[in-house]
Amino acid sequence: MAGTAGAQNYIRVQQMYRVVLLGDTRAGKSSLANTIFGEDVFRADNTGCQAETKSVHGRRITLINTPDLFSPGRSEEELKPEILRCITDFPPGPHAFLIVLKVDKSTEQQQQAVTEKICQYFSEEAFKYAAVVFTQDDQVSEGMRIQDFIDKNKCVSDLVKKCKSRYHTINNYKQCDNISSQSQVAELLNTINQILKENKGRCYTSKMLPQGGTCSNANKMAYLASTRGTAGAAGAERGGVKEAVRWAMQKMINVKTWIKTYSELMVIVFFSLLLTCFFLKVPFFGILLTVILFVSLYNLI
């Protein structure tokens, strides 16, 4: 029994979730990422995408912290490709976005600008994979009821509605009780699970980016060459091969996650096939193989 329990724990940890953090300056993205991981691993002054992976509450989580949506001194031409690396560098794409907002007196114009920037970079489709996280850095902001904050701010209220009313509050200040903080993290991860189920295990992919969004192989190679130094086309090709292998491995993990998520349905399908073959005298394994291939291909699209 001990061995079986250990195997189950192993499978649970191997579920890989890629989660992207989006937000403006001083929203608390890095602090949120450190709170989720329970240690300080993310930089507060990141100018590029930073990704770290850790097992949290029985899940293998890769957090991808992006640069601020409005970075002073950086042009749109420089900033946008760097933020979109959270898609291109982690194929086939993230399972969820966390839109990070700080509970303070920021203006409606600033909050509206964040929503518009996300639409501009990722399209409205991104909100199907998103949840809003309100961060609190002091006990003063904690006294503000989040629901009141949402109700009094039309821009925030509209954003929460776009995300199907998925929102959480995370206390980032150091005096916060660790047990309370980890309880908030557990609830947030459960919401990410729910996003995954609602999207049938699929990720947000480059196909969902605005204006078609799909990058040609030539564009990807040029991007890799420009953002990773002067390695040249050969280095870009090697990087492309590595990404293709990583993409294929992630697809296999996605199939395993889908099977585990819909295990009860698969049991029903299995016994239905068994009864069908028994009464209609149809080769069982032929039908079973066809169904498995169809489900796998459907999940990979």
How much is the pTM? 0.66
d(CA 150, CA 160): 8
Is a pLDDT exceeding 70 seen at residue 217?
A: no
Instruction: Round the average pLDDT of the chain to a whole number and report it.
Output: 76
The radius of gyration computed from the CA coordinates of the chain, to the nearest angstrom, equals 21
Torsion angle of the four alpha carbons 219, 83, 69, 138, in this order, in degrees rounded to the nearest 10: 180
17 bridge partner residues = 61
Query: Cβ–Cβ contacts within 10 Å for residue 182, how many?
Result: 15
pLDDT at 203: 95
CA atoms within 13 A of residue 51's CA, in its CB half-sphere:
18
Which 3 state secondary structure label does DSSP give 29? helix
Q: What's phi and psi for 52, nearest 5 deg?
A: -135, 150
pLDDT digits (tens, 9 = 90+) for 267-294: 666 667 777 776 676 676 666 666 666 6
Q: What's phi and psi for 20, nearest 5 deg?
A: -105, 135
Among 20-24, 103-107, 255-259, where is mean pLDDT lowest? 255-259
Contacts of 164 (CB under 8 A, 6+ apart): 127, 128, 198
Burial of 159 (0-12, 13-18, 19+ CB in 10 A): buried
Please give the C-alpha separations between residue 35 and each of 10, 53, 56, 112, in angstroms, as whole numbers: 24, 14, 11, 26
The dihedral built from the CA positions of residue 197, 202, 203 and 205, taken in this order, carries a sign that is negative
Q: What's phi and psi for 38, nearest 5 deg?
A: 75, 15
Tokens, residue 249: 């491995």
The dihedral built from the CA positions of residue 209, 212, 215 and 219, taken in this order, carries a sign that is negative
Pairwise pLDDT comparison (215 vs 273), residue with the higher score: 273
Q: What is the side-by-side strand order in the sheet with 59-65?
A: 50-56, 59-65, 16-23, 96-102, 130-136, 167-171
pLDDT digits (tens, 9 = 90+) for 59-117: 899 999 999 998 888 888 999 999 999 999 998 999 999 999 988 756 677 888 999 99
pLDDT digits (tens, 9 = 90+) for 224-249: 443 444 333 444 345 456 556 666 66
Cβ 61 vs Cβ 17: under 8 Å: yes
Pairwise pLDDT comparison (125 vs 234), residue with the higher score: 125
pLDDT at 73: 82
- Taking domain 2-208, whether its CATH number is 3.40.720.10 is answered by no
What residue segments make up the domains of the chain, in order of their start? 2-208, 233-300
pLDDT at 216: 37
